[in-house]
């Protein structure tokens, strides 16, 4: 079935399926828009309730998540090494963002950090060393680097008369000799003195912990300088073993400095095996972490004893407590099994930032809710106070977090402003829908009109082509039959009829060629044979072939062809383009008229133009002349033979060659067709 603009079925379908439903939906939409203000207030109240619930649940969930991570980390602490040989095999510690340290207990016995031999810290009393006047003088001269040889001689003599000196003076003198030997890089002498200090108990008793570790560090540095890396490693491990077996921890800072220095130097050894490097790296990380925990434990020792002995039943196994400005939590049953207890120190900055980030993530989904979250110091952590904000509700967020959630009433003007904005958008959306339907209707009818016009043009084309094919065939058949039956005896008549048959055959051949060219170009450009050719020579050939036709109409033919203007193209297609334009100029130019054909270069383009003094083309028709099957005006169509494919073929050839085509024409004054090609290199 063919539809047209006047088809009643099409009109009924269009109005019943598009126009009527659109009108009904528009009316319903306009009615719903009127209730938008009431709906906005109702929606705000519901959103406020949902926002509060989601925020409280989110904060609680984030706190529980931190506690669960701390629980997992505490279980991991049971796997930490219990002796020296296992330190190098420990895996990475599970850190918890928001928790700085975690301590693991079983009743009152500490499990981690496990380098602590006793729960009570008993620092030793360091001896107060007093220098003799002679030792003070030698030490000052040693610092000023004056008379170093005399100083060394004096100390050597004092070593020889050690029995007349006190133990303190002996140690002071030995340390002085050790310093000078090390500065002079007399490492063997330095090692001998260190051995004396270590192997003589009477002298060693005067070496308190800081001095002893300094001597051992010097011993380690000397071994490194002597490239005795394996001995240096053994010394470090020996000191670590001694430290772990010591019943008391006397000075954590001195211990930390010694082992950080030795571990780092060992890890810098170039020839250290990969297995040994990994072992010392794990040893350094684990040991430093345990020292940090131990230091914090001793700093809050009284608080730890109190929170462990607290008989209060913590809510759901979690108890939060402050020690001065530091916040701790105690975790026990039912979070942990049996008598296990975890005490964690909260990194308040990271802890609060983690929860604040969760609050902001939730709040991003509720941008229209005015709120603030503030801490105990009334500092706003998230949100902002709205202008003319009236407080609706206040709630405490989280467990022992001391954060306050404040919800505000939204300004009525703001609600009306948002409502009006939304109403405007809804009106705009409905209006846009109506306009879309109208434009769609317009373009649909236009499309149908174009389709109907195209059908008419195709029908006209078929009629025209049939006529064009029938006319020469009739003439050829008539003259051929006359000659075949012997009705034509005179030689001049036979020659005349033969000439007419040849012309009609040529005309028929040209028409068929035009149809084939159109079909070939309609499908694709792959049928073209691309080559570099001189457009001027091609134009001369076409011009010469059509010259006699123009001369028979008493038309003046002129040309100007520049040479060596090359383009990339298909010779047959370009020949057809120029032939069509020149033939059209001849067809629509009456005697006495003229035609001017040019090939020239302009702005790095090769230009082909045909100018005639023919009847011209009306401005209203110029935009359609390159359409398929289109012919200008009924009168012109009747008076001039043609198929309506000539200029359509010209346009397709130009587009395929990426050339531009333009027209300048005035009625009764003539026309100029100009084609600009890209010049080939």
Banded model confidence at residue 31, pLDDT cuts 50, 70, 90: low
pLDDT at 1 (0 to 100): 41
Q: Does the pLDDT at position 517 exceed 70?
A: no
* CA distance linking residue 141 with residue 138, whole number of Å: 5
Mean pLDDT of 278-306: 86
Q: What's the count of helices (H) and strands (E) in the chain, helices before strands? A: 21, 16
If we measure between CA atoms, which residue out of 352, 359, 355 comes closest to residue 55?
A: 359
**Which overall architecture, per CATH, does domain 524-678 show?**
2-Layer Sandwich (3.30)
SS3 of 146, please? coil
Select the highest-mean-pLDDT range: 36-50, 270-284, 440-454: 270-284
**Using only C-alpha atoms, what is the Rg of the chain?**
53
- pLDDT at residue 514 in the model: 60
- Within 8 A by CB and 6+ apart from 76, the residues are 93, 94
| pTM exceeds 0.75, yes or no | no
Mean pLDDT estimate for the chain = 77
Strands 318-323, 380-383: pairing is unpaired
pLDDT at 24 (0 to 100) = 64
pLDDT of 599 > 50? The answer is: yes
pLDDT surpasses 60 at 7: no
Structure confidence at residue 609 (pLDDT): 96
- The residue ranking higher by pLDDT, 550 or 22, is 550
Among 199-213, 447-461, 657-671, the minimum mean pLDDT is found in 199-213
Q: What percent of the chain has pLDDT over 90?
A: 17
In this structure, are residues 328 and 346 in contact, taking their beta carbons and an 8 Å threshold?
yes
Task: Tell me what the mean pLDDT of segment 617-629 comes to.
Answer: 79
Q: What's the pLDDT score for residue 635?
A: 45
pLDDT confidence of residue 120: 47
Closest CA to 233 of 192, 283, 198, 288: 283
What's the pLDDT tens digit per position in 224-258? Answer: 989 999 999 999 888 888 887 765 666 777 788 88
Domain boundaries defined on the chain: 133-301, 524-678
CB atoms within 10 A of CB 225: 12
Query: DSSP label at 332?
Result: -
Q: Locate all alpha helices (DSSP H) within 329-393, ordered by sequence.
A: 348-363
Q: Does pLDDT of 123 surpass 60?
A: no
Phi and psi, residue 115, nearest 5° = -85, -5
Of how many residues is the chain composed?
681
Residue 595 has pLDDT above 60, yes or no: yes
> Cα(first)–Cα(last) distance of the chain, in Å?
55
**323 C-beta neighbours (distance < 10 Å), count:** 15
Ordered DSSP codes for 275-297 = HHHHHHHHHHHHHHHHHHHHHHH
> Across residues 450-465, what is the average pLDDT?
61
> What are the distances in angstroms from CA 128 to CA 94, 131, 170, 206, 370?
43, 10, 16, 10, 66
H-helix or E-strand spanning residue 559: strand 556-561
By CB neighbour count within 10 A (0-12 exposed, 13-18 middle, 19+ buried), where does 232 fall?
buried
Mean pLDDT for the stretch of residues 334-338: 86
Average pLDDT over residues 507-529: 63
pLDDT number for residue 462: 57
Q: Report the pLDDT value the prediction gives residue 5, as an integer from 0 to 100.
A: 46
Beta pairing, strands 556-561 & 594-602? parallel
- In tens, the pLDDT along 54-104 reads 999 999 999 999 999 999 888 887 776 666 556 655 556 678 899 999 999
Task: Say whether pLDDT at 578 is over 70.
Answer: yes
> What is the per-residue pLDDT across 200-221, written as a single tens digit (0 to 9) for each?
655 544 555 567 778 888 889 9
pLDDT for residue 596 is more than 80: yes
Lowest-pLDDT choice from 126-135, 339-348, 591-600: 126-135
Lowest average pLDDT, out of 344-348, 367-371, 611-615, 625-629, goes to: 625-629
For residue 330, the model assigns a pLDDT of 92
CA distance 376 to 401: 9
Distance CA(195)–CA(634), nearest Å, equals: 125
Question: Does position 567 have pLDDT exceeding 50, yes or no?
Answer: yes
Cβ partners under 8 Å of residue 63, min gap 6: 355, 398, 399, 401
Query: Which phi and psi (to 5°) does residue 346 adopt?
Result: -85, 130
Peptide bond into 113 cis (omega under 30): yes
Whether pLDDT at 346 is above 70: yes
Q: Is 155 helix (H, G, I), strand (E, B) or coil?
A: helix
Q: Are 483 and 496 in contact (CB under 8 A)?
A: no
Reported as type and span, the H/E element at residue 417 is helix 412-484
Who wins on pLDDT, 653 or 118? Answer: 653
pLDDT of 605 > 90? The answer is: yes
Q: What is the mean pLDDT of residues 99-116?
A: 84
pLDDT average, residue stretch 10-26: 59
Is the pLDDT at 676 greater than 90? The verdict is yes
Residue 383 has pLDDT above 80, yes or no: yes
What per-residue confidence (pLDDT) applies to 23? 62
Q: What is 637-655 written as a DSSP string? A: HHHS---S-HHHHHHHHHH
**From 488-497, 596-605, 647-656, the region with the lowest mean pLDDT:** 488-497
645-655 per-position pLDDT tens digit: 678 878 888 88
Retrieve residue 87's tokens.
């330190």
Say what percent of the chain tops pLDDT 70.
66
């Amino acid at each position: 079935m063919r539809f047209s603009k006047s088809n009643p079925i099409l009109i009924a379908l269009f109005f019943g399926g598009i126009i009527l439903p659109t009108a009904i939906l528009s009316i319903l939409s306009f009615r719903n828009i009127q209730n938008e203000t009431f709906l906005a207030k109702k929606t705000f109240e519901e959103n406020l309730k949902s926002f509060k619930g989601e925020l409280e649940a989110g904060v609680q969930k984030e706190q529980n998540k931190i506690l669960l991570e701390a629980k997992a980390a505490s279980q991991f602490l049971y796997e930490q090494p219990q002796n020296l040989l296992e330190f190098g095999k420990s895996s990475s510690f599970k850190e918890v963002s928001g928790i700085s340290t975690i301590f693991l207990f079983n009743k009152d016995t500490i499990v981690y950090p496990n380098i602590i031999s006793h729960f009570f810290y008993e620092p030793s009393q360091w001896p107060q060393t007093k220098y003799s006047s002679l030792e003070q003088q030698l030490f000052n001269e040693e610092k000023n680097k004056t008379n170093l040889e005399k100083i060394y001689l004096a100390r050597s003599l004092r070593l020889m008369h050690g029995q007349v000196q006190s133990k303190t003076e002996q140690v002071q003198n030995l340390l002085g000799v050790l310093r000078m030997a090390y500065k002079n890089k007399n490492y063997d002498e330095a090692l001998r003195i260190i051995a004396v200090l270590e192997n003589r108990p009477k002298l060693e008793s005067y070496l308190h912990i800081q001095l002893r570790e300094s001597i051992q560090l010097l011993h380690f540095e000397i071994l490194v300088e002597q490239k005795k890396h394996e001995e240096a490693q053994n010394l470090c491990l020996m000191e670590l073993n001694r430290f772990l077996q010591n019943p008391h921890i006397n000075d954590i800072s001195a211990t930390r400095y010694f082992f950080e220095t030795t571990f780092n130097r060992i890890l810098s050894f170039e020839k250290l095996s990969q297995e040994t490097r990994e072992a010392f790296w794990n040893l350094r990380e684990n040991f430093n972490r345990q020292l940090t925990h131990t230091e914090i434990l001793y700093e809050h020792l009284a608080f730890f004893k109190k929170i462990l002995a607290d008989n209060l039943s913590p809510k759901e196994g979690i108890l939060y407590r402050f020690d001065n400005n530091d916040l701790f939590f105690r975790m026990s049953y039912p979070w942990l099994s049996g008598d296990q207890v975890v005490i964690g120190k909260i990194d308040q900055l990271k802890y609060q930032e983690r929860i604040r980030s969760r609050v902001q993530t939730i709040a991003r989904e509720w941008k229209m809710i005015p709120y603030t979250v503030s801490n105990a110091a009334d500092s706003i952590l998230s949100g902002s106070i709205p202008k003319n904000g009236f407080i609706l509700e206040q709630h405490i967020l989280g467990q022992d977090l001391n954060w306050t959630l404040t919800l505000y009433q939204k300004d009525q003007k703001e609600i009306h402003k948002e409502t009006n904005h939304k109403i405007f958008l809804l009106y705009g959306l409905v209006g846009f829908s109506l306009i879309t339907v109208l434009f769609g209707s317009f373009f649909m009818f236009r499309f149908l009109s174009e389709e109907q016009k195209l059908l008419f043009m195709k029908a006209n084309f078929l009629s025209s082509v049939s006529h064009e094919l029938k006319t020469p065939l009739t003439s050829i058949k008539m003259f051929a039959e006359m000659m075949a039956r012997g009705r034509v005896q005179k030689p001049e008549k036979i020659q005349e009829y033969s000439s007419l048959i040849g012309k009609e055959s040529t005309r028929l051949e040209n028409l068929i060629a035009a149809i084939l060219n159109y079909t070939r170009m309609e499908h694709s450009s792959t049928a073209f044979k691309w080559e570099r050719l001189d457009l001027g020579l091609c134009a001369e050939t076409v011009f010469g072939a059509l010259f006699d036709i123009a001369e028979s109409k008493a038309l003046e033919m002129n040309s100007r062809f520049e040479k060596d203007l090359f383009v990339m193209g298909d010779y047959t297609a370009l020949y057809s383009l120029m032939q069509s334009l020149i033939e059209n100029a001849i067809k629509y130019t009456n005697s006495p008229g003229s035609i001017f054909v040019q090939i020239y270069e302009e702005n790095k383009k090769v230009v082909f133009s045909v100018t005639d003094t023919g009847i011209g083309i009306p401005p209203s028709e110029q935009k359609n002349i390159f359409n398929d099957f289109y012919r200008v005006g009924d009168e012109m169509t009747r008076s001039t033979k043609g198929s309506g494919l000539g200029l359509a073929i010209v346009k397709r050839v130009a587009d395929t060659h990426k050339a531009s085509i333009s027209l300048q024409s005035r009625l009764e004054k003539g026309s100029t067709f100009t084609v600009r090609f890209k010049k080939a290199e």
